[in-house]
Chains A and B, each alone.
Chain A
């Protein structure tokens, strides 16, 4: 009889411990899941930003030229991409006056330089006219990286300067 009680008590204890472990494991799993979802979301959003390669008016402070927090973050994603890759960055004008728009384009270029995009590879031009009745949009073209060992100074820069478009 005593043996039965001992076995029952051991079983109960092991069950109890088992439940406790399971609860703590679930907590850790939840944290991992949350972090995984966060990372996947981040990758998804960053890929979309690179695909769009466009800075919109909502990225700027209202009626102002500086980029807002979201603008700085999104441009940082693009800057990371453009340090390694060539490509084109559009800056949408929206309904803004020309002077403000020019200042915004300058801000974007300045931020790209600050982020480490080679200034020799930056080219700002009016390459993308918006069509009839639409204002033309500035395009910041980031030229292809020079092959290792090659000079990117002087006129060589221009000859290598074919954008990906």
Chain B
């Protein structure tokens, strides 16, 4: 087992809430509040959750596009948070990001050539001729030709722009890409093209991905491991096939059941959560999911649930922990019990209304 490329432990990113004349910090939005994971070289971690859960902030914190306020981030054994100046620049050459909106992430006044060349110049990679060769190669890998270099972003469709954004990320030959909702702004028929492209690039270039998305089926398709976030914390993490086959956390179960499906047998009873996601400035005590959780008990309101490990599957839930113990450590049995419990509450609330 080689050591992981990316190692995150107890990552915290809080944003101060400032008020009054002196802009004093009166509180903090705890966007990321103690997140730990690692990604092995060449592997893909999918990070899913709803808006405001902190998944985007995790991605940006890894690259220090926002400064983490606690915890550690190690990239290839080196401490990203402690790195400064030349060392940070060196690390950033190896870690790149692709953003959601290809309309917002490409400067409309720059030609594609300038957009792609910027990184090469900053990192002093190659002569002018070598830079052109690298740019042409990056464009070719994303399905574009060198003719794109002398055009502006507005001349391209959404899908092509996202290809340009991907070309910009891979042109300096990084090892690791943060993909922040890379297909959400695209049409369905274009999404599949970009997903295939990302999978191809991973295979050809040996890239490691953090794939951030709210689209559960695409995450399953792309990822080796998946982590589910809720209000700044990872509530469940497992290898993709385990998480999708045997979800243990009530939030994961509700999330899966809420996704509309065209497959009739998938359309089982929807678990409709009540209420909205609370503000990360005032996260609830105990388990952060308890105000919306149909299975919440007294202990959930009081104590933050620790991780329960079962077959490489980590879940933070008091109820799931008990079910895992009752099942004698059999994740499949525990998952079936959790599904039954959730279904029972869904049925009860359906008859109540």
Same assembly: no
* A residues lining the B interface (CB < 8 Å): none
